[in-house]
Amino acid sequence: MKEIVVSGIRPTGNLHLGNYFGAVKSFLQMQHDYNCYFFIADWHSLTTHPHPDNIRRSVKTILAEYLACGIDPELATIYIQSDVREVAELYLYLNMNAYLGELERVTSFKDKVRKQPDNVNAGLLTYPSLMAADIIIHKAVKVPVGKDQEQNMEMARKFARRFNTIYDVDCFPEPDSFHLSEKAVKVPGLDGSGKMGKSEGNAIYLIDDESTIKKKVMKAVTDSGPTVPNSEKPEAIQNLFSLMDIVSEKETYDFFNDQYNNCAIRYGDMKKQLAVDINAFCAPIRERILEIQSNDAYLDEVARAGAERARISAQKTIREVREIIGFRAE
């Protein structure tokens, strides 16, 4: 039996190269090694956007992008959170044993209170119990998440343990985090510092067309070039080389690296080449995104089949939970 993995995807924004080499690549590997449940967390998005415009559309866009990257609905169960109502029932039970004090202490809750003081809703407060329900509904043991999710993961373990203790059962395993950032290639952004996606406009999206890629790369921050051979690269320059290391041939990288070391680098030429290589990398994915996105029937079918599989697993857990608490199982 393969170990069970669950991960939730926020339906915000398009995928960029940083996401691709981070979460997406891990998912691509994990779908072979584990019994994976990947879902789009559309209920969670109501905590910040009570009336999202066209949530169906943005969910489908994300779904199309993950499929285009190679998430295989035959290997992994990919579904939309709101299609699996059993999660909401488990969320209700978990909330009955989730305490105000511990929920209020969660850092991301405190951040949200600061960010949206006019909408401090119960969904925001109980975000960790919904996330716990997402995970333990399938009795997952591994959860690929970013480091920023560690506190939510601690809460998920706590809620799983607490349920077992209160009802004196061994129903839920405690899910382990599987830190994506430690395993993944780090993709820098184009604005001279930090990771791709950290700030607005420093990212290349998988959906960006050739001319958009070129424009973004040509605008990337550089300097006037080294004057001393073999000097250390400033961060902005190192970032361009790191990107080149990810998408270009080794010969290309070595060529520009030698030029840099000889103080003969022409950043314009380097960026042109980088744009070409990024485009060559993205083009086949982009074409698949466009093709899948325009195939509504296919997307609907993937979502339907995913929900069906996820519900089989979720219903099994909910039946057990209802019985444990003392409700009628069906």
134 binds ligand TRP (CB under 6 A): yes
Read off the amino acid at residue 255: F
Choosing from 25, 139, 158, 195, the catalytic residue is: 195
**Within 210-229, which residues bind ligand TRP (CB under 6 A)?**
none
**Residue 285: helix, strand or coil by DSSP?**
helix
Q: Please say if 198 is a catalytic residue.
A: yes
145 binds ligand TRP (CB under 6 A): yes
- How many angstroms separate the CA atoms of 174 and 156, rounded? 8
User: Which one of residues 152, 279, 313, 317 is an interface residue with ligand TRP (CB under 6 A)?
Assistant: 152
Return the sign of the alpha-carbon dihedral for residues 289, 290, 291, 296: positive
The radius of gyration of the chain's CA atoms, rounded to the nearest angstrom, is 22
Choosing from 115, 147, 186, 198, the catalytic residue is: 198
Region near ligand TRP per CB under 6 A, out of 7-15, 202-210, 213-221, 266-274:
7-15
Q: Indicate the angle between helix axes 296-325 and 55-69, nearest 10 degrees.
A: 100
Binding residues for ligand TRP, rule CB under 6 A, total 13
Least distance from ligand TRP to the Cβ atom of residue 134, Å: 4
**Within 41-80, which residues bind ligand TRP (CB under 6 A)?**
41, 44
**Phi and psi of 234, rounded to 5°?**
-65, 160
Structure-token match 């202490």, residue found:
105
User: Which one of residues 135, 136, 217, 265 is an interface residue with ligand TRP (CB under 6 A)?
Assistant: 135
In order of 6, 140, 244, 316, the CA distances from 36 in angstroms are 6, 9, 32, 17
Least distance from ligand TRP to the Cβ atom of residue 180, Å: 10
Question: For residue 32, how far is the Cα from the chain centroid?
Answer: 18
6 binds ligand TRP (CB under 6 A): yes
Region near ligand TRP per CB under 6 A, out of 92-100, 144-152, 158-166, 306-314:
144-152
Q: Which is nearer to ligand TRP, 97 or 108 (CB)?
A: 108
Position with the least CB separation from ligand TRP:
8
Q: Please say if 195 is a catalytic residue.
A: yes
Spatial strand order of the sheet with 142-145 comes to 77-80, 35-40, 4-9, 142-145, 176-179
Q: What's the token pair of residue 124?
A: 């925001």
8 binds ligand TRP (CB under 6 A): yes
Least distance from ligand TRP to the Cβ atom of residue 153, Å: 8
DSSP 18-57: HHIIIIIHHHHHHHHHSEEEEEE-HHHHTTT-SS-TTHHH
Region near ligand TRP per CB under 6 A, out of 2-10, 117-125, 264-272, 288-296:
2-10
* Contacting positions for ligand TRP (CB under 6 A): 6-8, 10, 41, 44, 131, 134-135, 143, 145, 149, 152
**Which residues are part of the catalytic machinery?**
112, 195, 198
